[in-house]
A and B are shown apart, each in its own frame.
Chain A
Amino acid sequence: MMESTNHSTFEVSNLRVVRNGNEILKSISFRSVPGELIGLLGPSGSGKSTLMRSLLGVQAITGGSARIMNCAAGSRSLRGRLGYMAQSAAVYLDLSVEENIRYFTGVLAQPLSEVARVMDVVALTPYAHRLVSSLSGGERARVSLGVALVGSPPVLILDEPTVGLDPILRRDLWRTFDDLATSGATVIVSSHVMDEAARCARLLLLRDGTLLFDGTPASLLAASKASGYDEAFERLIEGDR
């Protein structure tokens, strides 16, 4: 049983999700504090997106509980306090970059100065008037990330934000996530690329809906006696069998 504190960002306890008769998440429990940069890693189909959607409150929970900033996931009071980037770029392709960010800025009742700030953070100012449909996959992902950053929410839930990006851009985005965590936001970033583990302060490794590991990257390597993160993950799976 996890100890409850008033300072937790996420408080997930025995979370279960069953969809169409399949158990997608099996009794997941973890807790986080503000300012953490958490990597949610695991292969495709391990339940990362379902866990993120459960935290957002858009996925029905079968058992257990998920609380964010002391509110049940999906509570009305959480709407607008969680920045979310879905795996697919959930933005309007037939709007320009600026129009997309302006719309979400308006819905969140933020000042219009947010539009320029956010475009600057995701390095899309030169593309402000380009239609999203004319952008590359990586640029669309940045628009989607920009929307998640509107209003500087205290919690960011980012589903595979670095997929398909070039190494330089990926490095810059991880720096951005690190800066956001340093400024006090809790950032949870999913990825199926184990190499990204080194960039996180804390790792949650997921496989087949089960949380295999919860700790720092250094403790993962130490516990598995592996030289790399892929190898460490393989040893964890073997140990779990």
Chain B
Amino acid sequence: MSLRRTLLTSRRILEQLRHDPRTLALLLIVPTALMGLLAWSLTNEPGAFNSVGPKLLGVFPLIVMFLVTSVITLRERTVGTLERLFTLPLTKADFVGGYAIAFGALALIQSLFVSVLSYTWYGLAHQGVPWRISLVALCAGLLGTAFGLALSAVAHTEFQAVQFMPAFILPQLLLCGLVIPVSQLPPVLRGIADVLPMTAAVHAITPMQSNQYYLGQFAIMFAYVFAALVVGAGTLRRVTK
């Protein structure tokens, strides 16, 4: 793996996004606007926004990065740029690392954007350690990126890639504690929910838990990021049959 080629790839991806204002808006403005809408809709429910709001900070980066990465990576596979890159001295690790760094940085910026507005204008009450939310958002963004990379291998068109979102993201959204607390789920579903990456992101934002609890949630997220990146790299083929 070459750090120089990895960073060049990250820079290239960020340059691509710079030329694509719609995707940038999806990444930065939409989550902020949705958070504002949620705060506004819960105006008459004292304390409700303080309960739901922080959890969404862990959910947004995962969903948005999954969507963007799966489509962009699929494009690399279908238009031939990936095949061309693999005739050059660029390794799979350089390629996957480039994506992880570029989208990890974007997830960080997204989380700062959303959390600053949430804690100021939208009136979210601050609970726990502030940097932890950014760290969770970074991990959630990396999770979305890694899963997007891996799942782009099984899609043949961009439309198919988008279809993975309801199949892959929505079940996690239902089980992560956003709709019903995980502790109130039936035992089987609770067992599944406890090891899902989105649940770990939501749990890692929950205030006033022990350090060991947070470490456990971060461990789950990092294990998923690592496994999905390995699977994603494994799906990149230098030689086609």
- A-side residues, CB < 8 A to B, are 19, 53, 56-60, 74, 76, 79-80, 82, 84, 86, 88, 90-96, 99, 103-104, 106-109, 131, 147
Task: Please tell me if B83 contacts chain A, counting CB pairs below 8 Å.
Answer: yes
What 8 additional pairs, Cβ within 8 angstroms, besides A60-B239, A92-B81, A109-B4? A82-B87, A84-B84, A90-B84, A91-B81, A94-B19, A106-B4, A107-B9, A107-B90
B16 touching A92, Cβ below 8 Å: yes
B85 partner residues in chain A, CB cutoff 8 A? 107
A86 partner residues in chain B, CB cutoff 8 A? 80, 83-84
B83 touching A58, Cβ below 8 Å: yes
Query: With A94-B20, A107-B90 in contact, do A88 and B8 touch (Cβ < 8 Å)?
Result: no
Q: Mark B1-31, 1 if CB is under 8 A from A, else 0.
A: 0001100110110011001100000000000
A94 touching B16, Cβ below 8 Å: yes
Chain A: minimal CB distance from B90 (Å): 5
28 contacts between A and B (CB under 8 A): A19-B241, A53-B240, A56-B87, A57-B238, A58-B238, A58-B240, A59-B240, A76-B89, A79-B87, A79-B89, A80-B89, A82-B87, A90-B81, A90-B83, A90-B84, A92-B16, A95-B12, A99-B15, A103-B8, A103-B11, A103-B12, A107-B5, A107-B85, A107-B88, A107-B89, A108-B89, A109-B4, A109-B89
Complex CA–CA separation, A39 to B221 (angstroms): 54
Task: Please tell me if B79 contacts chain A, counting CB pairs below 8 Å.
Answer: yes
Complex CA–CA separation, A53 to B87 (angstroms): 10
Task: Please tell me if B86 contacts chain A, counting CB pairs below 8 Å.
Answer: yes
Query: With A86-B80, A106-B8 in contact, do A57 and B89 touch (Cβ < 8 Å)?
Result: no
Which residues between 85 and 100 of chain B lie within 8 Å of chain A, taking CB atoms? 85-90
B238 touching A108, Cβ below 8 Å: no
Chain A: minimal CB distance from B80 (Å): 3
B16 touching A57, Cβ below 8 Å: no
A107 touching B8, Cβ below 8 Å: yes
B240 partner residues in chain A, CB cutoff 8 A? 53, 58-60
Task: Name A20's closest neighbour in chain B (CB-CB).
Answer: B241
Task: Name A88's closest neighbour in chain B (CB-CB).
Answer: B80
Complex CA–CA separation, A58 to B77 (angstroms): 13
A74 partner residues in chain B, CB cutoff 8 A? 238-239
B16 touching A90, Cβ below 8 Å: no
Task: Name B90's closest neighbour in chain A (CB-CB).
Answer: A107
Task: Name A99's closest neighbour in chain B (CB-CB).
Answer: B15
A58 touching B89, Cβ below 8 Å: no
A108 partner residues in chain B, CB cutoff 8 A? 88-89
Complex CA–CA separation, A218 to B55 (angstroms): 75
Complex CA–CA separation, A147 to B241 (angstroms): 26
Task: Name A150's closest neighbour in chain B (CB-CB).
Answer: B88
Q: Mark B207-241, 1 if CB is under 8 A from A, else 0.
A: 00000000000000000000000000000001111
Complex CA–CA separation, A76 to B239 (angstroms): 13
Complex CA–CA separation, A84 to B85 (angstroms): 10
A92 partner residues in chain B, CB cutoff 8 A? 12, 16, 81
A58 touching B88, Cβ below 8 Å: no
Chain A: minimal CB distance from B91 (Å): 10
Interface centre among B5, B11, B80 (most CB of A within 10 A): B80
A76 partner residues in chain B, CB cutoff 8 A? 89
Complex CA–CA separation, A74 to B239 (angstroms): 8
A59 partner residues in chain B, CB cutoff 8 A? 239-240
Complex CA–CA separation, A74 to B241 (angstroms): 14
Task: Name A78's closest neighbour in chain B (CB-CB).
Answer: B87
Complex CA–CA separation, A49 to B62 (angstroms): 39
